[in-house]
Amino acid sequence: MNVVSSLIFRLNLRDVVKGLAVAVIVVILGALQEAFGQHGLDITSFDWQNILDVAWKAALAYLGKNFLSDEKGKVLGRIG
């Protein structure tokens, strides 16, 4: 399988799509954590602001890691 990775200090569309997927997964996991925690299935009582805050930070961290990684996945061309 030939996967095209972006060069160091660059992002491609695949990186952005995967970053958005990370954000969606974090929102789902955050909602499940709220549901199984203290709120039950009452989604109106979930702390959506906190869930979305964590989601955009996770997506930004993923994009930052990809921005700093070379085509082989090594961060700054050395780590990994």
Q: How confident is the model at residue 4 (pLDDT cuts 50, 70, 90)?
A: low
Question: Taking 60 as the threshold, does the pLDDT of residue 42 lie above it?
Answer: yes
> pLDDT tens digits for 44-80?
888 999 999 999 999 999 999 999 998 888 888 888 7
pLDDT of residue 2: 58
Q: What angle do CA 64, 66, 68 make, to 5 degrees?
A: 70
| Token reading at 65 | 């890691």
| Rounded Cα distance, 63 and 60, in Å | 5
